[in-house]
Amino acid sequence: MSNDTVDIQPGVSMLAVLKHLNYQSWYALAEFVDNSVQSYQQNNDVLSDQTEKLIVEIDVDVADPPRISIRDNAAGILLKDFPRAFRPATLPPDRTGLAEFGMGMKSAACWFAPKWTVRTSALGDPVVRTIKFDIVNIVADDIRELDIIEEPSDADSHFTEVILEDVFHVPAGRTVAKIKDHLTDIYRVFVRDGLLELRLKGESLIFQPPVVLHQPYFKTPDSPPQIWQKDIVFDLGPDLKVRGFAAIRETASTRKAGFGLFRRGRVIQGSGDDGYRPPLIFGQSNSYRYQRLFGELHLDGFEVSHTKDGFRWDENEQPFLELLREHLDDDELPLLKQAEGYRVRKAAVELRDDALKAVTGAAEALGEGLPGALAGLVDAEPADTPQQEPPAQEKLASKTISLPFRGQTWEIEIELTNDPSESQWLVLSDTDQSTGETRRIDIRVSMAHPFMVRFAQNDSEDTDGILRLAAGIAVSEVLARSAGVRKAGTVRRNLNDLLMTALSGP
């Protein structure tokens, strides 16, 4: 074992503020993948003889202390490149690839963790070199050089591993699923082309493209069906070019529709559930276009933010959108009109199949869950409609309407919440001020309820339909109460219990 040092001055004081960058976890992890892809591409002639493809493995350990590691089989970092690789804000000699600012690894590592280690073995160099960063000590002591720990290795070995320790931003639960979705989208081109295999916690991330609509134009339903996809190619001047495709999804999806905007083969905007959907093209979130239009657009000549999570449009976004809209909706293949106007009409055979599946699923759920639920419901005391409920802890959206009814004004508030502690699917309160001028009715549905998680979180139309059903049940209870029905809340109480105990499972 032998030791050398690497100069990390100037700019060391910058390391302390990098943890305050406005990263999302997937964009921070993407910085490491970008470096791996760049290293592999720059040394592809040599690596392709030894390695079938680039493999990047990301592992997350949430145990205390939390730890993240990112390892690749790219070309490694040569000793002569250490000063540039580990000194803040040192531009790389080649800025035409994914690693162009000289800050990606350092920014992301400091954002994730106060301590991090880099182990690397450069192609053709029989040495593994390790360098350790402890940001608090480096800044406090104004450390200018870091030790390089060297160990012998096989000359054919080539890799880089970054280990983040005592992680600030620990990906867990839903965040891991979101990271998976975003990284799958961000690197889809490299994976599709066979250059990259990207693994998260041992799982290979593979992009599954949506099925493109193959139907007649909705205005001429008897015409031959056509594939609703078209190439998009246009320029915004000599240096700004756009190329790619746009299409209509066969199955609408609020989460997965939208454009992915690429630069140098990597998604900058529009990954995961955050597709690029400007209103000028997609309309409002309840429009059919918003749920059906998708595509991949590669933007050449456009600058990006230093965190590579957005384009720096410099007043070019509006012209870009106007030209894009023209290409999307020309008479040859009017994607926007078709996306908005087309309605799915299931064939009779498909309807019967869906009906059989639905009836079977509901019957099986009742058969499995009902016996255990019935005893508690039968023995429960009848319930009345409360005049007031505690306010929701996590309100997602609400809307209040006023309407006259039999000499009173009914104020009805419909509310969607996301409070995991709320056990009721449908919460209702009714002031029932029969002698007053205003009757206040509050209808609240929990999106965090297992029933909604199971059946209503993939599409806004599902949520809309279930919310209308809930409103109908609530108003029916209010009317029953007005008609003299005692303990009118019993039906809703039983429904809430059944949905929780018997009808939310697979």
How buried is residue 386: exposed, middle or buried, by Cβ count under 10 Å (0-12/13-18/19+)? middle
Q: Is the pLDDT of residue 84 over 90?
A: no
pLDDT of residue 369: 63
pLDDT of residue 491: 85
pLDDT of residue 383: 67
Confidence of residue 377 (pLDDT cuts 50, 70, 90): low
pLDDT of residue 410: 83
Q: Exposure pattern of 362-383 as b/e (b: 16+ CB <10 Å)?
A: eeebeeebeeebeeebeeeeee
Confidence of residue 12 (pLDDT cuts 50, 70, 90): confident
Rounded mean pLDDT of 144-173?
A: 91
For the chain, domains (ranges, CATH) are 2-204 (3.30.565.10), 214-341 (3.30.230), 352-501 (no CATH)
Q: Collapsing DSSP states into helix, strand and coil, what is residue 268?
A: strand
Confidence of residue 431 (pLDDT cuts 50, 70, 90): confident
What are the pLDDT digits (tens) for 102-136?
788 999 999 999 999 999 999 889 999 999 999 99
Mean pLDDT of all residues in the chain? 86
Global confidence as pTM: 0.70
pLDDT of residue 372: 65
Q: Is the pLDDT of residue 450 over 60?
A: yes
Confidence of residue 225 (pLDDT cuts 50, 70, 90): very high
Element of type H or E holding 351: helix 348-379
How buried is residue 459: exposed, middle or buried, by Cβ count under 10 Å (0-12/13-18/19+)? middle
Q: Is the pLDDT of residue 470 over 80?
A: yes
In the chain the first and final C-alpha atoms are separated, in Å, by: 57
Rounded mean pLDDT of 428-439?
A: 72
Confidence of residue 333 (pLDDT cuts 50, 70, 90): very high
Q: Is the pLDDT of residue 48 over 80?
A: no
pLDDT of residue 434: 53
Q: Is the pLDDT of residue 435 over 60?
A: no
Beta carbons of 482 and 476 less than 8 angstroms apart: no
Q: How many CB atoms lie within 10 A of CB 389?
A: 12
Return the percentage of the chain with pLDDT > 70, whole number: 88
pLDDT of residue 92: 77
Beta carbons of 273 and 256 less than 8 angstroms apart: yes
Rounded mean pLDDT of 329-336?
A: 93
Q: How many CB atoms lie within 10 A of CB 238?
A: 7
DSSP state of 414: E
pLDDT of residue 413: 87
- At 353, list the tokens: 């199949």
What are the pLDDT digits (tens) for 384-427?
666 767 676 777 888 888 888 777 888 888 888 887 777 888 88
The dihedral formed by the CA atoms of 474, 480, 482 and 486, expressed in degrees to the nearest 10: -110
pLDDT of residue 338: 95
| Continuous H helices in 187-226 | 188-192
Least confident piece of the model among 186-200, 316-330, 423-437? 423-437
